[in-house]
Amino acid sequence: MVGGGPGSFIGRVHYSSALLDGHINFVCGAFSSDPAKSKIAGKDYYLDPSRAYDSYAEMIEKETKLPEGERMDFLCIASPNHVHYGPAKLALENGFHVVSDKPLTFTTDEARSLVKLVEETGLIFAVTHAYTGYPMVKEARDMIRTGKLGKIRKVISEYPQGWLSTLLEATGQTQAAWRGDPERSGKVNSMGDIGTHALNLAEYVTGLKVTEVCADISTMVEERKLDDDGNLLVHFDNGARGIIYASQISAGEENGLTIRVYGEKGGLEWVQTEPNTLIAKWLDRPIEYIRPGNSWVSDIAQYNTRLPAGHPEGLIEAFANIYRNVATCIQHRLEGKEPPAEALDFPTVYDGLRGMQFIDTVLASAASDNKWIRFQE
């Protein structure tokens, strides 16, 4: 792991998720830019002290020299945005697979560079758009792909939060401090942190691609350096219309990621705060409430469900579905076998690149007098 040191939220999520199914062992890490903090984190993760490294460069160099079967097989990146590209690039150059948090990189040029490296090396690269790992998100995707809703006409993907309704970063709160800092977060805050999730969920569930964007991006809290609210009208490649918004100043909201999709025959609604329920709405019959663990859901939803019906599964399990698939693909590669098709269902470096292109498109639209901007690929 790179990142995930003292005060990290997402590092512990990656750690718990990766180990959930017993397919992955945690063997080494460079947890902080401060070597002393990295050593402390190594103890917290119960690692061999010799493998809690001072930097990711030292870790990759020393792990490369270890015998096969002892050295790490892949690298997890759970650091702030400005420390995504460096370790990912170095890992790929030294033959290691990568799982990275999003957004993929600090700039789109860096993202393109990683895509090129992945294509040249053939290594596995996953991006933890973890909301795609929920069983009922898989079910929604399957229902749309099998034509149950007919042609898709309308897509609404929203991600409201309220935790940055005040200038929290000025208090030194760790998570707010780096997200509010352009040197560490990049050109955007809310649109990169959660807007990319809203885009990814909309495109994953529907199988459609956004082609045009009309964006209104705002910074509502005084003295904040980056955006905290964004509202987008979007066009999809099949002619469907949509709305994507991401807000961190929606006071009282938690992590209210929600998607609603409407086709010719009916609609679907899924809310991340109640992830075990998918609501199907039809023109000609009553509303259906679909839940995982039942025999009538799709094969892909069943594959991504661990517990019997009525036992809730949440974010850790959704993250774990990505890690399980990555581990399955790596294990099959080590054995010279082809992985099952279900294991290939995880966000890749191409999804990460699309997230960076989304950020560029949104900013271009927000700055333009001609509000409709083609998606910048």
Per domain, the residue ranges of the chain are 2-123, 133-313+353-367
- Residue 370 is predicted with a pLDDT of 86
Fold that domain 133-313+353-367 belongs to in CATH: Dihydrodipicolinate Reductase; domain 2 (3.30.360)
User: What is the 3 state secondary structure string of the chain?
Assistant: CEECCCCCCHHHHHHHHHHCCCCCCCCCEECCCCHHHHHHHHHHCCCCHHHECCCHHHHHHHHHHCCCCCCCCEEEEECCHHHCHHHHHHHHHCCCEEEECCCCCCCHHHHHHHHHHHHHHCCCEEECCHHHHCHHHHHHHHHHHCCCCCCEEEEEEEEECCCCCCCHHHHCCHHHHHHCCHHHHCCCCHHHHHHHHHHHHHHHHHCCCEEEEEEEEECCCCCCCCCCEEEEEEEECCCCEEEEEEECCCCCCCCCCEEEEEECCEEEEEECCCCCCEEEEECCCCCEEECCCCCCCCHHHHHCCCCCCCCCCCHHHHHHHHHHHHHHHHHHHHCCCCCCHHHHCCCEHHHHHHHHHHHHHHHHHHHCCCCCEECCC
pTM for the structure as a whole? 0.95
10-residue stretch averages of pLDDT, the chain, 377 residues long = 92 96 97 95 95 97 95 96 96 98 96 98 98 98 98 98 97 93 94 97 98 97 97 98 98 97 98 97 96 96 96 96 98 96 97 97 94 91
Domain 2-123 has CATH 3.10.20.30: no
What pLDDT, on a 0 to 100 scale, did the predictor assign at position 371?
A: 82
